[in-house]
Amino acid sequence: MILVLENEVDTEARYFVPEIRRHLEAAGASVSVYPYADAGGRPDALAGADGVVLSGSTAGVYETDSYPWMDELRSLVRELVDEGVPTLGVCFGHQIVNDALGGRVEHRGLRKGIETVRFAEDPLFDSVGSRVPMVHGDFVTELGDGMERIAAADYYENLGSRHRDAPLWSVQYHPEFTDALLPQIEADFGWPTGGSDRDFDGVSVERTLANFVRLAIE
């Protein structure tokens, strides 16, 4: 079973996790979703989880005063590392993972569009194409302790990371972001009108989730 932690604080923006769930299930996983932004703490379902996915959020990791559950999530990230539980951080999840391990995250303004990403040789990226849709305003400017860079773009050097000793991966992009989500994302965040940014041919980010399922249940 893959446990997905829902970190979105805006209930109207909770349309990403259902897509994460859909792609995980398409890869053969059973999925449980835990509303972390509402409940915090340590989910009981963690005991039976083969892997954990930390979802995105419109909140920033620097807003702990407004969202005290973020400190609980940081502690949980460190526990997952210590216990060797396969974990994937997505967008905000990428940021909180690195922040929890001593890295640094900064707000630098909203970035949106399809970017060319350079992936390291890593099983998480098997068959994932280099054209990747991005929508985020926060950036990991310093990786956390034990984290190594595994993905980068010209505008962002720490676009993906992996722990050198634990089965922990994190990516800034949304692996659930296919053309099916574009209308909703465009309505909420805007999207470039240029043809290349609207052309999802060759976009295969959802394979990241299928690869994670394989890695988690090996």
Catalytic residues: 91, 174, 176
Amino acid residing at 79: E
User: Do 1 and 31 form a contact (C-beta atoms < 8 A)?
Assistant: yes
**Helix locations, 89-173, DSSP H:** 92-100
Amino acid residing at 195: G
The sign of the CA dihedral 44, 49, 52, 57 is negative
Residues 6+ apart with CB under 8 A from 133: 113, 114, 115, 173, 174, 177, 182, 200, 203, 205
User: Do 2 and 51 form a contact (C-beta atoms < 8 A)?
Assistant: yes
Q: Are strands 51-54 and 2-5 parallel, antiparallel or unpaired?
A: parallel
**Helix locations, 54-116, DSSP H:** 69-83, 92-100
CA distances from 75 to 78, 80, 195 (A): 5, 9, 43
